[in-house]
Amino acid sequence: MNTQEALNWISEIFEESPGRIDPTTVRDDIAGWDSLGTLSLIAALDERFDIHLSEQDIESLQGVKDIFDLLRRHEALSA
């Protein structure tokens, strides 16, 4: 997955228009990134990439950059 594909995927999860989210977008700027959105993200990471998050991983996700970092660590996002 490349960066643009990842942005589109993240936009779908949080039900945002694709152009509204970029790598610098923080959690507080995404209306859909509430507790239900977090659960949707956790489920999507598990379903699509078989990535299982620890509580610490979940708490560290504070923006799109953090999701990108997580995807890179699991080799699901190309540089």
What's the pLDDT tens digit per position in 17-65? 988 999 999 999 999 999 999 999 999 999 999 999 999 999 999 999 9
* Structure confidence at residue 13 (pLDDT): 97
- Per the structure, the count of domains in the chain is 1
CA distance 60 to 17: 24
Characterise 75 by phi-psi region: left (phi > 0), alpha (psi -120 to 50), beta (else): left
Does residue 79 belong to any structural domain of this protein? no
Report whether 78 contacts 2 (CB < 8 A).
Answer: yes
Q: Whole-model pTM?
A: 0.93
Domain-embedded: residue 12: yes
What does the pLDDT read at residue 79? 64
pLDDT, position 18: 81
Closest CA to 58 of 45, 48, 47, 49: 45
pLDDT value of position 42 = 97
CB 49 within 8 A of CB 74: yes
Residue span of the structural domain in which 48 resides: 3-73
